[in-house]
Amino acid sequence: MVYVPIFKKNVSLHNRIFFIMDKATFFQLLSQEVSSYKSFLETDDNEWIVKGFIDVNKTVYTITCDTKVVSKIIEIILIPKLNRFAESNGLTLELPSAQNYYPDLTFKDSEGHLFAVDFKTSYYTADNRVNGLTLGSYWGYFRNRNTRMNMDYPYAAYQSHTVIGILYSQNPNISEKKSFSIDELSEIDSVIQDFKFFVQPKWKIALDRPGSGNTRNIGGATDVDVLINGKGPFSGLGEEVFDDYWMNYFNKVDAKMSGIETPNYNNLRTYKEYLNRQQSLFSKFEE
């Protein structure tokens, strides 16, 4: 038997030890694991280890800079490592049963406690800014937390909701018109480079506005330091404020369809004003 003391609790059954995880320990372990991923994904000159894809004739084709393509390839590379991470820490890793299900990864301990992890990628637009990222829907499963809407488990069943963030710079000089032989591998430029990784609870890097246009997605910070250090606008307010804000957030279209006519708030300043109005109304019942 092996005993690992960093876990919250251990239970012995038939000479086997099962570890029960808490969210603080899970976050610590995942952060330690992800800290090694930069060196894993980069060559010595800070380029991505992926140069293209190869066919049976050993012809190598360059990869597009399209963020969806890049993100999916990174996920495919990292999932086996995260599976080994799970196994070495008494967890099992489950992938979603359907495309576009939340989350990307579900970690489960021996008692069935669940931890949600989502991959989020973005590229630099300036020295300390990224193009932006979204943090999942504030509709559907986020509000109906005890149902399985586009999820294998209810949102409320998870102990925590964590983001593995992957930031990188794009190489503007890549041409998709060329192909290479496998012997020319060293001559192929990578489409991305200069990785930065971070692990943060979703609520700590969330903004108080949607991610794009009229979509029902929670917007994420675009400042690199905010993302890496988890210093978004909700970070000093707490997860309960984040949940309440986004569970009751309405864009103009949804407000009208719901009979509210106009949204009660659209940022943290007007949210505070809204709460003060509600408190004023409740206080009248106490008079």
What's the CATH number where 83 sits? 3.40.600.10
Are 276 and 165 part of one and the same domain?
A: no
The answer as to whether 76 is a domain residue is yes
Residue the block writes with tokens 């820490």: 89
* Sign of torsion over alpha carbons 229, 121, 65, 187: positive
120 given a catalytic annotation: yes
Per the structure, the complete domain to which residue 45 belongs is given by: 9-237
For residue 280, what pLDDT band results from cuts at 50, 70 and 90?
confident
Are 150 and 283 part of one and the same domain?
A: no
Are 94 and 228 part of one and the same domain?
A: yes
Are 201 and 261 part of one and the same domain?
A: no
Are 47 and 73 part of one and the same domain?
A: yes
Neighbours of 216 (CB within 10 A): 20
pLDDT at 156: 98
* Active-site option among 22, 23, 38, 118: 118
The answer as to whether 100 is a domain residue is yes
Q: How many domains does the chain have?
A: 2
- Determine the average pLDDT of the residues in 58-68: 92
- Determine the average pLDDT of the residues in 75-86: 98
The answer as to whether 45 is a domain residue is yes
Tokens of 22: 């808490």
Domain boundary among 237, 260, 276: 237
Are 109 and 151 part of one and the same domain?
A: yes
Are 265 and 163 part of one and the same domain?
A: no
104 given a catalytic annotation: yes
Are 232 and 264 part of one and the same domain?
A: no
pLDDT at 2: 33
Question: In this model, does residue 89 exceed pLDDT 70?
Answer: yes
Are 197 and 256 part of one and the same domain?
A: no
Task: Report how far residue 221's alpha carbon sits from residue 199's, in angstroms, rounded to the nearest whole number.
Answer: 14
pLDDT at 285: 66
Question: In this model, does residue 175 exceed pLDDT 90?
Answer: no
The verdict on pTM exceeding 0.85 is yes
Task: Report how far residue 97's alpha carbon sits from residue 226's, in angstroms, rounded to the nearest whole number.
Answer: 32
Q: Which residue has the higher pLDDT, 84 or 215?
A: 84
* Active-site option among 51, 120, 202, 204: 120
pLDDT at 113: 96
Are 116 and 77 part of one and the same domain?
A: yes
pLDDT at 119: 98
Question: In this model, does residue 203 exceed pLDDT 60?
Answer: yes
- What mean pLDDT value characterizes the chain? 91
Contact 23, 160 (CB under 8 A): yes
The answer as to whether 4 is a domain residue is no
- Determine the average pLDDT of the residues in 234-253: 96
The answer as to whether 244 is a domain residue is no
127 given a catalytic annotation: no
Give the model confidence (pLDDT) of 8-52 as tens digits.
Answer: 444 444 444 456 789 999 999 999 999 999 999 999 999 999 999
Are 149 and 273 part of one and the same domain?
A: no
The answer as to whether 242 is a domain residue is no
* Active-site option among 22, 38, 104, 231: 104
pLDDT at 51: 93
Are 177 and 227 part of one and the same domain?
A: yes
The answer as to whether 226 is a domain residue is yes
Tokens of 65: 């800079």
For residue 126, what pLDDT band results from cuts at 50, 70 and 90?
confident
Domain boundary among 216, 237, 258: 237
pLDDT at 56: 96
Please give the full DSSP string across 45-81, using - where no structure is assigned: TSBBS---EE-TT-EEEPPP--HHHHHHHHHHHHHHH
Give the model confidence (pLDDT) of 96-117 as tens digits.
Answer: 999 999 999 999 999 999 999 9
The answer as to whether 162 is a domain residue is yes
